[in-house]
């Protein structure tokens, strides 16, 4: 299989002081959700949390119990949050079946790695990389695997806490979507709604003006 360059989900963006939270894991999750609700990354009406029944369904999808920080993430934005983490299978219902998909990806790449029952895969990106939670605490570690980029085809520990992973992704994405919104206001990007309800974005060159 030809190695594919992984699109990094873990690059640091600009430091956002709003994301430096006190109050433990709960404060850290809530600070990220507040920070992404900036009108560009997401608006208040685009924060889609999940009911307790749906969260129980998600918990039963994999053997691992839900860590408390991840459970709060699901309660607040488990079904979507505007542009945040767009393009990755991290929200309900796309996150269902992720562990099986991760096992298949490891098998395809002849990886000797075997998940523990306490591991929970919570994100897959375009079918060739995934993240999972490892540990029994309320804010567990994040481990990551990328096809063609993980050393020895073995997942690696990338963050000491789930809330660190969440914060870093917010720091990376917030300035990106702020620029995107500015380009729409300036007319550099033209947004059109199609007949089927989908949205098409067109980058307008200067000679189109």
Is it true that the peptide bond before 93 is cis, omega within 30 degrees of 0? yes
Report d(CA 50, CA 76) in Å as an integer: 7
Average pLDDT of the residues in 29-33: 97
Q: Is residue 9 part of a domain?
A: no
Q: Is the pLDDT of residue 199 over 90?
A: no
Backbone angles phi, psi at 27, to 5 degrees: -65, -35
Q: What is the CATH number of the domain that holds 184?
A: 3.40.1580.10
Residue 133 forms beta bridges with which residues?
A: 120, 142
Q: Is residue 98 part of a domain?
A: yes
What per-residue confidence (pLDDT) applies to 184?
52
Q: Which of 111, 147, 149, 115 is nearest to 132 (CA)?
A: 115
pLDDT for 41-89, tens place per residue?
Answer: 999 999 999 999 999 999 999 999 999 999 999 999 999 999 999 999 9
Number of domains in the chain: 1
Q: Is residue 147 part of a domain?
A: yes
Q: Is residue 56 part of a domain?
A: yes
Q: Is residue 77 part of a domain?
A: yes
Domain of residue 133: give its range: 19-208
168: tokens are: 């870093």
CA angle 132, 137, 139 (to 5 degrees): 60
């Amino acid at each position: 299989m030809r190695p594919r360059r992984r699109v990094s989900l873990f690059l640091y963006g600009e430091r956002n002081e709003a994301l430096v939270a006190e109050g433990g894991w709960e404060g850290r999750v809530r600070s990220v959700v507040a920070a992404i609700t900036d009108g560009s990354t997401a608006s208040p009406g685009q924060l889609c949390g999940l009911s307790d029944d749906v969260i129980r369904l998600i918990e039963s999808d994999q053997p691992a119990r839900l860590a408390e920080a991840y459970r709060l993430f699901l309660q607040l934005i488990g079904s979507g949050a505007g542009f945040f983490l767009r393009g990755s299978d991290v929200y309900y219902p796309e996150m269902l079946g992720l562990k099986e998909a991760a096992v298949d990806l490891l098998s395809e790449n002849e990886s000797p790695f075997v998940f523990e029952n306490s591991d929970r895969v919570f994100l897959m990106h375009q079918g060739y990389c995934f993240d999972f939670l490892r540990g029994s605490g309320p804010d567990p570690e994040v481990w990551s695997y990328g096809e063609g980029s993980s050393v020895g085809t073995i997942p690696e520990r990338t963050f000491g806490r789930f809330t660190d992973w969440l914060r870093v992704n917010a720091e990376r994405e917030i300035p990106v979507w702020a620029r995107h919104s500015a380009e729409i206001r300036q007319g550099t990007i033209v947004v059109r709604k199609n007949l089927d309800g989908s949205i098409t974005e067109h980058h307008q060159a200067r000679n189109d003006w």
